[in-house]
A and B are shown apart, each in its own frame.
Chain A
């Protein structure tokens, strides 16, 4: 289709503000799928995404819309992941669009997540169409939300569309606004090909499939193409668009959104943000904005049953086929044996991978507490990145340590400002700014260590503000901190998988809390188990798991031996979820105990 009849847009919304429902209505209204084919929220296709109500992988769909002006338009909806972990992916999806719907809940107003994404969209010069959703709610206050959009974001909200994705009200207006207000693409299909990869996934028949937005030029089946960052070359075997299932169309040209495949076996060759160009007639310059993925959070993943190591490896390799952000390498723990150190974009990403391993690959895993990457400057002048507390060099070899800081943006009703400030200070936050969004909502900005965010900042924020606070953060810089390694000794032996790196002043308190938590989590065994928390050779806390003294079920059930055996089997089964470290049996959750102290 000619570019004047193409509109590329995405939807920006805070979680739960109705992005997926609006997408569903658009698909339904344009007849892309009949309502019989409509499954609720078709775009969130992964089971986990449905359960959590979030989008993990971005998806795309081409809608053919017959406008009131009598013409047919190709509307490409580029769905964006809705979580801070996937910020870079969001930015690439936005770079593929000319416009965005900004969806705000009519009852809840602008949230931190919304803001972050709107700013991203504005950076990409997108035309933003404000949509106020859920106007059917009794608590809806569209005028207040309009004011918020104007005052907080600085967007003209006078022609914001009022809509209810639930009842279908306003959906036609949205479609018309996309045609009228979102600019048409302005690429040149005579110029050498430049296609932006904004997502990719692995298909077991076609290999890696790249989601692309063509800026200039065209792609036809059989073309020889090249990735400008990875220099990988391939021949196009499939080219098409999503409706929402992939449909072959034979060619794509400037302004179009679709997919391209061609005997690519590894998602690592198809990097989000990379530019595809023609092998014969390459573009002189790649599209801007590409960067490699850098994991922010690391943890150890170990099979409970050491015989599952190869299965875990295979499962990680399979997940990696579809997830270029997941990195892993084998590591050994004295306590846990053979496993993998895995890097993730953030905690959600980590959770999702872990759940998929357990659910889809039926692996029983022990996850060690997540760690950020510390920059350890050694006395010999060299800087080593450390993502595993157990690998921290001995104190005498350390000159100083730097840790990653984030800029955290918190939006909260003004009644809770004091509470937020207190929690943020406790978490070593440095106050940066405070602005009133309206008479009763405040936006606070803090700089704080990423490790505190991972640890329990968000939980505490939520609980001290009764769930009203919304948080967004982005990595800002590395700053020197007084950090020490807190070790845990069970029965006198250090358990490497339980070591953490903590702020030195907090070490005694964290040690006490951790030891107390472990005492709760570690069941009584045949002997007493001393739990010690230590910084270097200094013991900062001590607890005891008392030995269990008596465990005898005396009745012999009138000769019903099978019943007795089954009972013993069941008890034994309960013990299987434990990991024997030396002579001590430790339940899985103990390794995450460091995150569960409150």
Chain B
């Protein structure tokens, strides 16, 4: 009995210590560490001295980067582990952080998930390590996503400025012009579906990433975060603009009700029955591999605009590499980050098909002049790079966006079944977000 009792006390003490550790991390990242700045020489020294680094990432182009990095710094031994893609990765990371053991030194972070970990105090502020110097190296969208005030929680790895990918053959057959505005997009959707009842301008059955990016482009700021104070307003002007426009497509059944990344989705993209996608600049490689039958038919155009002639876009997807607060080798880890995402690693990843977040590469003549065979010889990088310069600034994700996105189908998704409207769905989503946030100890206002 006594033994059991002791054990129980031990476990309780461990839980308490964990809570303390978490709070300690939380307050630490507010700027306490800023005093001990690390010079570039310290970073090089750490790289020369070497050591083991554990990196959790699923980005395939990192394999080659790690190989080259180890060749350049023979004393560093990098273990690159893929613990899952997206949510699986975050679950594993959250578990490791909660357990306080097995936490990697470096972790891949999608931009939407980064605040969840940075506000939780799990990511190291890279500003004292020299990351502030990199301001201006990256395009504004990704840089905005990894920074919070003066703090830098990761170095952008790739980016996803949005564009309109469309099947030129289907558009031609249907006699539809490429839409430059969202009004034209709605008209084009009607024409394409009228031309052939099995053909839709695009597929969407409720995707949180797409919806938030659309609201972003429309100038909405549904999530505003300052520390643990969160304001949610999914009925603001930008959100309403998106909801009203997209509702027209849903009402008239003009978008294919096919889940993204499903087998049906790829078949539709390959057959031309899904005629266009508004998505991130990382899409070309996926089209080439997943919709091979349509090779030569696809083209890229700027994202449709709310006001004719403007260039306002948003980011969709993309990720950064971050150093964890629990890492004992932050300088070494930062050395790897700099190599992979600001140094020689960038070129390696671009060769592998990554879309860059670095301005130098986005404006590189050779990169811009590349002709894509799949896209019928079009210089697609010109369009995609132009989109990167137009990303609307000031967007913020929730500090618990991973959870919020998981309940998106329960709420906004219901608008896609016809049982409610998009704006009511967004209101229901807001309710879930507010409820969860308050339960988790945030102060959530509406």
Is chain B a partner of chain A in the same complex? no
Chain A interfacial positions (CB closer than 8 Å to B): none
Chain B interfacial positions (CB closer than 8 Å to A): none
